[in-house]
Structure 1
């Protein structure tokens, strides 16, 4: 009877995990020359939480400078900018993405199927822009609105919106200013994420270049 009870508990736990909902909140803020970003993950009404803060970074003419995670030393000096993400890094990421697309048959199809089960509970994106020149600020403000509405429109064709996104661009005609805040929260079931991972694994190309079970189709 003991093994039956253990098996029943294991099955119950697996079912609970599959139907459980995960909420992921992304916070991004740019103020001055520095950028901050963090990700918060919640499950089971907050009983299980996880938070990760990305290393502070800033944009430069050479690329993206990343600040070390460690605290400032006892001497009082600020942490140094120790790494620059430049053109070579971006080229390497692009190459890795190409390899992934080659290795996985129908990679975009797997992503699109998963996104259909994603719900955005909150999207707040506010920006303050200014160049010191009224004409330039007006042009940049219009471009910013265009970029934001285009991105939201594109995402809206794949995911569901629980509430209408709140977008705002505030122009500052008499000063140079570049600030933005993004607060986004999405949710999805673990079962849909597991199914997406299984699809990726089953569409991986073998040594012969053909997909493993590539003709297998799943419907969810």
Structure 2
């Protein structure tokens, strides 16, 4: 009897060790060349057993009021097995709604900003490549602008390095194109990971911070229910 109990218990402990020793690996790619746009996000965890791929192949600017329209695609082993393709509208009203949700989450969680910063500090970036080619149509203007673009990009990299760990020096390129026509192309590739063990610990810490805030659990339940309803509504569309 002890043997029959010991075998499943041992397998359970082994499974827990494997899960805790794995990591959440991600790869983000942003590409733009002329009218061709592409946003990609790949997430892999549990040694490749769970894979997710998100893709936004094109963004269309519809004006200040209507915002940006994009076709969103989701695939991977963690989905229902059927590729999900839907259009997403990113307008002023939607961004305002996101801002309200973030404010509600912050009010319902004690020290949410500190928790978020601590969690990001354990994200390890193994690759950060960012290249930009452009022309303003005038050689002199392009040369002057290239210096400003260099400064802006390194300022952004410096800001990012305050939040996450950069394991290797980022590779940043700016290539001015001296031609009479306007052109712009850009590619950003970022790879990194977060250990599953720390992700579980961070979720536990988040739960404690919610419990310490008066009414935190109730507010989070309300927020999550609202987000699920919105997700169902967008899926039906």
Q: Give the TM interval when normalised to the shorter protein.
A: 0.7 to 0.9
Match of residue 141, structure 1, among 140, 146, 159: 146
Match of residue 31, structure 1, among 14, 30, 33: 33
Match of residue 112, structure 1, among 108, 111, 117: 117
In the other structure, the counterpart of 2:191 is 185
How far apart are residue 137 of structure 1 and its match?
2.8
Distance 1:159 1:91 in 2: 27
Corresponding pairs, count? 202
Match of residue 65, structure 1, among 54, 69, 94: 69
**SS, match of residue 96 in structure 2:** helix
Is the Cα–Cα contact under 8 Å of residues 101 and 107 in structure 1 kept in the other structure?
yes
Distance 2:213 2:162 in 1: 36
Pick closer, same or farther for the CA change 1:42–1:33 going to 2, 3 Å.
same
Unaligned segments of structure 1, at least 5 residues: 70-80, 213-220
Pick closer, same or farther for the CA change 1:109–1:179 going to 2, 3 Å.
same
Pick closer, same or farther for the CA change 1:205–1:48 going to 2, 3 Å.
closer
TM-score normalized with structure 2 length: 0.73
Pick closer, same or farther for the CA change 1:59–1:145 going to 2, 3 Å.
farther
Unaligned segments of structure 2, at least 5 residues: 74-85, 219-237
Match of residue 100, structure 2, among 95, 98, 106: 95
RMSD over aligned CA atoms reads: 2.8
TM-score normalized with structure 1 length: 0.78
Distance 1:98 1:17 in 2: 33
**SS, match of residue 110 in structure 1:** helix
- 1:87-124 CA distances to partner (integer Å, 9 max, x unpaired)? 22221121221112112211121122122222111011
How far apart are residue 55 of structure 1 and its match?
5.0
Which structure dedicates a bigger proportion of its chain to helix?
2
How far apart are residue 136 of structure 1 and its match?
3.8
Match of residue 15, structure 1, among 14, 17, 20: 17
Is the Cα–Cα contact under 8 Å of residues 54 and 72 in structure 2 kept in the other structure?
no
